[in-house]
């Protein structure tokens, strides 16, 4: 194992280990439910400063990340990346229990498809499924 990938920092409460000490310092919040970062505009709170920064964009309605193939814009680069999967025909998440595939992990685990219920699919993994034909336009019919 490489020095850069060896997980030297271990949580004393669970079996989770980390490659960076900073990640181990934040991890105990998952056990204590501590959420020190709080939004001043609503009751949202979180464990990481980056999550709060992303959340604040939902209040500003700023969407600086634009799709190059259609007119959609997004608040975060991650949302744009997920959107681009539509154009590429990519569906990288799969439930090992029922073989449902999806554009996003949230769709499978939260039940947005209408076929699944919260927590019913615990064997979700990232898979590589070759795109059949890229979609180039929003108007499909």
CA 74 to chain centre: 14
Tell me what pLDDT residue 16 has.
Answer: 87
Section 124-129 average pLDDT:
48
d(CA 82, CA 72): 12
d(CA 26, CA 38): 16
Token representation of residue 136? 């180039």
CATH fold group of domain 9-60 = Double Stranded RNA Binding Domain (3.30.160)
pLDDT tens digits along 84-93: 888 887 777 7
Q: Tell me if the domain spanning 65-126 has CATH number 3.40.50.300.
A: no
Instruction: Write down the mean pLDDT value for the chain.
Output: 75
Pairwise CA distance, residues 29 & 62, whole Å: 29
DSSP 74: E
- The residues spanned by each domain of the chain are 9-60, 65-126
């Amino acid at each position: 194992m490489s020095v850069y990938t060896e997980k030297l920092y271990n949580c004393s409460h669970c079996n989770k280990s980390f490659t960076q000490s900073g990640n181990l310092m934040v991890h105990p919040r998952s056990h204590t439910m501590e959420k020190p970062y709080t939004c001043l505009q609503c009751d949202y709170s979180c464990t990481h400063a980056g999550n709060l920064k992303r959340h604040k964009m939902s209040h500003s309605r700023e969407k600086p990340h634009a799709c190059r193939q259609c007119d959609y814009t997004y608040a975060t680069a991650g949302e744009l990346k997920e959107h681009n999967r539509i154009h590429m025909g990519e569906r990288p998440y799969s439930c090992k229990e029922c073989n449902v595939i999806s554009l996003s992990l949230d769709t499978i685990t939260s039940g947005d498809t209408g076929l699944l219920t919260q927590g019913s699919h615990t064997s979700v993994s990232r898979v590589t499924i070759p795109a059949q034909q890229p979609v180039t336009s929003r108007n499909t019919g």
